[in-house]
Structure 1
Amino acid sequence: MKNFLLLESGATKLSWVLASSTTVLCQGEVSGLHPFLSGAEEWQQNLQAIGDQLRDYSPVREVFYYGTGCSQDEGQVLVRKYFAAFSPSLPSPLVATDLLAAARALCQQEAGIVGILGTGSNAARYDGTKIADQRGGFGYVLGDEASGANLGKILLQAFLQEQLPEYIQKDLQETHQLSKGAIISTVYQTANPSRYLAQFAPALKRWLPESSSLQEKVAAEFGQFTDLYLLPLIAETDHNEVAFTGSIAVQFRPYLEEALRRRGLAIKAIITPPLPALVTYHQTLLY
């Protein structure tokens, strides 16, 4: 039986599946990996944890790794380097961006416009085989409009600037042990600050009904995402629908829908997680 290992990683979590042409054999999750933001120790721990669960199965014939930070050659080279160092028994992975994973999961063999709204954000035009054009993927410092990291940052900025009602400030202090020093030290001294920021997106959603200021900022984020990432891609096609994956697309769907509606666009589909559909793609086309 020809088994293949499929890994799909965002900044927060990495999901993996061992499958054959017809069956999912085993699967799991570890913390997200990034070729530039995750250190060698984290790569080693996660790859070894996955490898430990593969020992009872026949040899893996192919490995497909889709991940954030892998749109450029430098990131792809680093991923293959980590696999060679910490999983030498596995074949060298075929490495591609998480955008291609989203496109294959959402569209299979059909052309379309796809967006990722998770810890980070980006979008692409997919021709049914490959990514024909893309926008975003600049990270939380230079971009990531409407991402979990940016939305979490909105809440933390309001907290630091004491712009929230007192009862919200108090709840955040008590529930998340927030303080000025804790926030600043974590954001500026940890290896993966986008993951830290994104964990506050659910709290932002919780408190949105209590703050018109937060609502305006969130609406502006989704407007910027649509203007900067989607409209340039839509202009090259006759599509007016966009398919999405990612937890933020689910949690903040009303804001996403409204941003699209104002620009004459609509949601085609939202799937999360993308991995089951991605497994189907590989089973259908490659085996």
Structure 2
Amino acid sequence: MILLADGGSTKCDWILLDQQGEIVFKTRTEGLNPAVFAQSLLEERLEKNEELRSHKDKVQAVHFYGAGCGTEKPRKLLEQVFKEFFTKADIIVKEDMVAAVYAATTEPGIVCILGTGSNSCYFDGDKIHMAVDSLGYVLMDEASGNYFGKRLIRDYYYKRMPPEVAEDFGKRFDLSSDSIKENLYKKSNPNTYLASFAEFIFTSERNGYFYKIITEGIQEFVENRVLCFPEAQSVPIHFIGSIAHFSEDIIRAAVWPYHLTVGNIIRRPIDGIIDYYRKEVIGKLEKK
């Protein structure tokens, strides 16, 4: 049986497939980003999930695609955590861009992730090509959850929010300066803390203020993470993640001046990954 996972900093979706590609179970853990979480926390989050614990000795392969797995050191850390938990399984850990490509397309295209963080790549139909390395939430991550979280907090403190929006924002979150500074500078995982504020935009009624900040974030992302690819005007641009799902109209408006073509917009890539494995992995194994 193959255990598939699509992991971010906030959450991780897991699906166990049997030898025929049928789903044995679906489950979710908290995020498992090895670039920002300590080994002890990664281990704890696996142990907390009852379904993973009860099936771990039956799993023959773990294929994990996650945020923070694009460089060797954090990838090796997560591989070790999985080897100790899934003791009878072969382990493969790859960055989340690979899963995004599997979910979005089998043809050449640019694939973008808009989640807790953000990223992009060009897929030539065979290999993935990155234009720049992602430097994370402090320096990059345009149009991501943590990007919008930072924007909301700054606008609230600089009094740039419309009064009625600021009032609602203040009721929904603890916005005391002490609380914000403690979460940002003393507690772990400030990126996921910032991203938690972004839900305010996407669970509230759309208004001119929200439209403005989403538009500015998407425009920054397009300018920095899409137009950097020479192929941008000749292939579809695919978007993965909840922020992309809820911002489809703004994405289409943002790319129009550049004569770009929007491809697939997928909220949860895990379903596309299942289809890929049924066709490309399990299907080929059955033919052998």
Q: TM-score higher than 0.5 here?
A: yes
Q: What's the offset of the Cα at 1:11?
A: 1.2
What percentage of residue pairs aligned between the two structures are identical? 28
5+ residue gaps, structure 1, are: none
In structure 1, the partner of 2:257 is 262
Q: What's the offset of the Cα at 1:273?
A: 0.8
Query: Could you say if the C-alpha distance between residues 181 and 162 of structure 1 is closer, same or farther in structure 2, counting changes exceeding 3 Å?
Result: farther
CA contact 1:112–1:125 (8 Å) conserved in 2: yes
In structure 1, the partner of 2:42 is 43
Q: 2:126 aligns with which of 116, 129, 137?
A: 129
State the aligned residue count.
Answer: 280
Q: 2:270 aligns with which of 269, 275, 279?
A: 275
Q: What's the offset of the Cα at 1:198?
A: 1.2
In structure 2, the partner of 1:65 is 64
CA contact 1:122–1:134 (8 Å) conserved in 2: no
Residue 243, structure 1, aligned to residue 238, structure 2: yes
Secondary structure (helix, strand or coil) at the match of 1:22 reads coil
AA partner of residue 83 (structure 1): F
Query: Could you list the per-position Cα deviations for residues 94-153 of structure 1 after superposition, in whole angstroms to 9, with x for gaps in the alignment?
Result: 11110010001111x322211100111111111233312344532110100111110111
Q: Which runs of 4+ in 1 moved over 6 A?
A: none
In structure 1, the partner of 2:96 is 98
CA contact 1:115–1:122 (8 Å) conserved in 2: yes
CA distance in 1, matches of 2:207, 2:29: 33
Query: Could you list the per-position Cα deviations for residues 236-260 of structure 1 after superposition, in whole angstroms to 9, with x for gaps in the alignment?
Result: 3663421111011012222222111
Q: What's the offset of the Cα at 1:92?
A: 4.2
CA distance in 1, matches of 2:161, 2:275: 46
Residue 230, structure 1, aligned to residue 244, structure 2: no
CA distance in 1, matches of 2:57, 2:167: 54
Q: Which moved more, 1:97-106 or 1:157-166?
A: 157-166
In structure 2, the partner of 1:194 is 191
Secondary structure (helix, strand or coil) at the match of 1:55 reads helix
Secondary structure (helix, strand or coil) at the match of 1:93 reads strand
CA distance in 2, matches of 1:81, 1:248: 32
AA partner of residue 159 (structure 1): Y
Query: Could you list the per-position Cα deviations for residues 198-251 of structure 1 after superposition, in whole angstroms to 9, with x for gaps in the alignment?
Result: 12223234376253xx64443222111111111122x13663421111011012
CA distance in 1, matches of 2:122, 2:144: 19
Q: 2:140 aligns with which of 139, 143, 146?
A: 143
Query: Could you say if the C-alpha distance between residues 120 and 93 of structure 1 is closer, same or farther in structure 2, counting changes exceeding 3 Å?
Result: same
Secondary structure (helix, strand or coil) at the match of 1:190 reads coil
In structure 1, the partner of 2:5 is 7
CA distance in 2, matches of 1:92, 1:74: 19
5+ residue gaps, structure 2, are: 283-288
Q: 1:157 aligns with which of 151, 154, 168?
A: 154
AA partner of residue 241 (structure 2): G
Secondary structure (helix, strand or coil) at the match of 1:60 reads coil
When normalised by structure 2's length, the TM-score is 0.89
AA partner of residue 42 (structure 1): L
Query: Could you say if the C-alpha distance between residues 56 and 180 of structure 1 is closer, same or farther in structure 2, counting changes exceeding 3 Å?
Result: closer
CA contact 2:111–2:121 (8 Å) conserved in 1: yes
Q: What's the offset of the Cα at 1:194?
A: 1.3
Q: What's the offset of the Cα at 1:285?
A: 1.2
When normalised by structure 1's length, the TM-score is 0.89
Secondary structure (helix, strand or coil) at the match of 2:3 reads strand
CA distance in 1, matches of 2:173, 2:268: 26
CA distance in 1, matches of 2:7, 2:102: 15
Query: Could you list the per-position Cα deviations for residues 170-197 of structure 1 after superposition, in whole angstroms to 9, with x for gaps in the alignment?
Result: 3222221222221222122221111111
